[in-house]
Amino acid sequence: MKRKTAFFAIAALGLTIFCSCSFAQVDCDSAKDCFQKGKSAKDSTVKIGYLSRAIEIDESGDCGSGNIGSAYYERGFAHADSHGYEMAINDFTKYLELNPNDVMGYYQRGNAYHYFKTYESAIRDFNIAIEMNPKWVKTIYFCRGDSYLEKGEYEKAIADYTKAIDLSPDFSYLYNQRGRAFFSMKNHDKAIEDYTKSISLVPTYIVAYFNRGYVYIEKEEYDMAIEDYTKIIELKPDAYDSYINRGYAYFKKGEYDTALENYNMALEINPEYPLVYINLGDVYQKKNNLDTSIKNYNKAIELDDQSVDVYKSRGAAYYIQGNYDMALKDYKKYLDLNPTASDKDNILNKIKELEKK
């Protein structure tokens, strides 16, 4: 079922660097000038260029700006802003070599490790920061909680979010995150309770509505899910993933035409999203329009040929159609891509049946 609804995602890495300071012969004031211009620059790429030149001057002679540690720190921020998390980690590490007792260095490097998806290293840095300066715990608890959450250590994540909530009971984000942890532990009622609290604090918090709607789908409370996704669409009319999830709720209710309306709205916003075509295929299969169902599955595969469940769905459509060779091919492809599928035995039985035809 999870493939039928959409999740939010976090984007990855990318960085371009150039130096804006002149590479002509410079004196000591030029290094200071580069540092100050880099620190005040708004554009991350420009900032990186100035600060890189300041660091180069500092490291090449004995008349530097005197701000080399700060330059590494500021450049680390700029790399992080540009999603260059590995380079940010390198810069914060250099900064900590020069300033080993600065709690902010560990905190910022921990954040960079988190976004670089090296969660164990992030947790280690957050632990050091807490030990060094307990007054930072309010902020660090929820950062460490996020790393525990992404690492799959849900009980530890819940413990950190709960501590952070005790210190900041009006911070909506914390309830949303703890709700995610509860959901991952299949404690749906607790998850809904936290998402609802998050929404009560910030009534326009789209992520909390989205997550609560997803829990309602898991609980088969489709009308409640529809309410949440409708609210998101009111707040953000181009939220195509909310049209998909609302369409899926209507699909599960057996309201296939309304599901189609929602999926087609999603397509108008994002025609390159494979999940919409899979869901369209499922609706048309239910309506016994097998040619159109298969056409949509084909489009989903064209956009993403590693999308696992689409092969099972298309195989089912071919089977109903009586195209047993194509059904057999799709069921085998499904197991090739997902050899530990929970329905493996059922699919193997279908394959054996088809091989006899």
Domain residue ranges in the chain = 14-100, 272-357
Q: Is 13 helix (H, G, I), strand (E, B) or coil?
A: coil
- Evaluate if residue 19 carries a pLDDT over 50: no
129-145 pLDDT, tens digit per residue, is 999 988 778 889 999 99
% of the chain exceeding 90 in pLDDT: 78
Q: Which CA distances in Å does 197 have to 171, 176, 208?
A: 10, 8, 9
% of the chain exceeding 70 in pLDDT: 89
Q: Which fold has domain 272-357?
A: 1.25.40
Q: What is the mean pLDDT of residues 36-49?
A: 85
The pLDDT assigned to 85 comes to 96
Burial of 178 (0-12, 13-18, 19+ CB in 10 A): buried
Tokens coding 166: 């005790």
Q: How far is CA 102 from the centre of its chain?
A: 30
- Evaluate if residue 333 carries a pLDDT over 60: yes
Q: What is the mean pLDDT of residues 55-61?
A: 72
Same fold, 14-100 and 272-357: yes
CA pair distance 72, 278, nearest whole angstrom: 48
| Cβ-based neighbours of 52, under 8 Å, separated by 6 or more | 17, 19, 75
End-to-end CA gap in the chain: 30
Tokens coding 164: 């952070």
CA pair distance 74, 95, nearest whole angstrom: 10
Q: pTM of the predicted model, to two decimals?
A: 0.84
In this structure, the number of other CB atoms found within 10 A of the CB of residue 206 comes to 18
Q: What is the mean pLDDT of residues 171-198?
A: 98
The correct CATH number of 14-100 out of 1.20.120, 1.25.40, 1.10.3470, 3.40.50 is 1.25.40
